[in-house]
Amino acid sequence: MPEKKKELNPQRTHRRLNKAAQSAKAAFTPAAKQGSKKPAAAKKAAPAAPAKADAPRRRAQRAQQAAAAAQRRETAAALQKKPLSVPDPEKPRLRVIPLGGLNEIGKNMTVLEYGRDIIVIDAGMTFPDEDLLGVDMVIPDITYLQKHRDMVRGIFLTHAHEDHIGALPYVLRELNVPVYCTALTAGLVRLKLSEHRDLKKPKIHIRKDGDKVKAGCFEVEFIHVNHSVADACAFAVKTPVGVVVATGDFKIDTTPIDGKMIDLPRLGELGKKGVLLLMMDSTNAERPGMAMSERKVGDSLDREFKGCDGRIIVASFASNVHRVQQIFDVAAKYGRKVAVSGRSMENILKVGVELGYLKLPHDTYIDLNDIRKYPKNKLTVITTGSQGEPMSALYRMAFSGHRQVDVGPGDKILISATPIPGNEKPVYTMINELFHKGADVVYERLADMHVSGHACQEELKMMLSLLRPKYFMPMHGEYRHLMVNASLGRACGVKPENIFISDIGKVLEINESGAGFNGSVPSGRVLVDGYGVGDIGSAVLRERKSLSESGIITVAVGVDMRSRAIVSGPEILSRGFIFVREAEELMSELRTLARETLENALERGTTSRSAIKETVNRRVADYLYKKTKREPLVVTVLLEM
């Protein structure tokens, strides 16, 4: 009889992953719990026993942390010393070019190139840093793709988060290529593209996990993974030199809400056949253990809903369909109606229901405009704004700017998300304001209201062990995340010389003779400001920074260039620099200085308007710095009379 194929048991897998931790816990169990007898003197010292019992555990943890740190140092040293192995230039080679997602969070985009064929994995955006004043979003520089547009065979999307699809409308303006993704991702992409009416009708092809797509010399296989948005996929890309696996964002959830666990058997099959290169998510590489299951949030929601006699407002990421489903389910369980607030939440509800990813309990959903028809203890509102975005629904509720929802005493606010790194201040400012209004706010520091959608160390090691790649390139994270992930790869048997810490625009080349970095391509960030894409440069940002820090002084003067005389003014206008009514003396001095400078320039026969303005700007700026030690932006306006 043929040997029966073993099926993967998720629960058994999870137990095995935690076996070592459980054994260690048992080893350090206090003697009293093991049934040993204590002398009489020990009984008097009972209060100190827990601290003494924890001492071996703390020592073991410190030793484990020290070993991990030593391993990271060894990995870093090995990576620095590894020999440069550039493939034979005479042979065809695979080129791997990250255009985003390395040494940063977000803006994910990776290019695979072989011969005359290119495929692109993801097209994400990121939010601007504090120094990018007035900028709406940041997207990858696709100059290289524009230059080789005739070689691009398609764009493949791993999932529907903004850091993987946010740049797509701007990319499709330049590249008229097909897009391949799963059904939910396609639904959200179509909504996004509908907001950009200048685009040609995009060619979006829906695929499901297990499907394979031929794109030039590449064959791309969709593999189901778990993440904080439904329908997420990894890609196994068959190339002429071997298989490349791009995990995208993933975790290993043994009890997923939709019942579809990550396809570990298929990943194991790929590992047995041989994986040339693994490009793996590094976001949670610093976190030990495993990411908690999404069902954990459902348990926390149930505890918060149970016995609550007020209105409940839940803020979450709109794209987390499974979280939204759990909120609807627990609300229905306790006889509550559910309304949603926020455009992105309304969009995900529409797409999720239409495609069957959301199943709303009967007679539960109501329109937000109808909430006044129901008692507050029978209401739940699902809203956007978990990250404290100034225009989001929850933020407007906190600062009394929401038309339908007025937060006050008796309301319970559940923030089912953790602040994105760097975004803590606006989130906690919003939470403070909600507390000021008398609401009961429950957030991640007070309860398990959120679980990560990214793999932690044990999951990353499982992926490495299943796929057993020859080459390993950590992706999606800042440099520290990439380095820690590299150390996990080394611990799982990847040779240090085969681990590549790359950067945006850096080209990794691979063929049968080896792998190594070889040059770079144009790359960086493109700033989107309103309808403008890429037209905001360093000069504009410097001026915006100067305006934000020191304000502006405008010198307006009417001049007759034929008679070379001042007709009116100069008038001095201050914005963001000094309150004019409290600085009349300084304003008078500036008017005198500007008039003298203009008269001297006109008497010297200066005819260039730009030269006259530059002279006035310089004299006024120097005078202000001498008087105030401040450097406002000075602008001179010459009105020819």
The residues carrying an active-site annotation are: 281, 454
Q: Look-up: residue for tokens 């092809």?
A: 205
Q: If you ran DSSP here, which 8-state letter would residue 45 be given?
A: T
Residue 426's closest CA among 437, 438, 415?
A: 415
Cβ atoms of residues 220 and 237 within 8 Å = yes
Beta strands in 410-550 (DSSP E): 412-415, 440-442, 471-475, 506-511, 514-520, 525-529, 532-533
Residue 457's closest CA among 253, 268, 284, 292?
A: 284
Instruction: State the distance between the two ends of the chain, measured CA to CA, in whole angstroms.
Output: 102
Compute the distance between CA of residue 150 and CA of residue 152 in angstroms, rounded to an integer: 6
Compute the distance between CA of residue 197 and CA of residue 44 in angstroms, rounded to an integer: 78
Cβ atoms of residues 315 and 417 within 8 Å = yes
Q: Look-up: residue for tokens 């993967």?
A: 8
Q: Look-up: residue for tokens 């008087």?
A: 627
Per-residue exposure over 428-464, b if at least 16 CB sit within 10 Å of its own CB, e if not = eebbebbeebebbbbbbeebebbbbbbbbbbbbbbbb
**Cα atoms in the Cβ-side hemisphere of radius 13 Å centred on 15:** 5
Residues 6+ apart with CB under 8 A from 334: 305, 306, 308
Residue 405's closest CA among 392, 394, 414, 416?
A: 394
Both structure tokens of 379: 């209401």
Regarding beta strands 218-224 and 212-215, do their DSSP bridges make them parallel or antiparallel, or are they unpaired? Answer: antiparallel
Regarding beta strands 312-315 and 412-415, do their DSSP bridges make them parallel or antiparallel, or are they unpaired? Answer: parallel
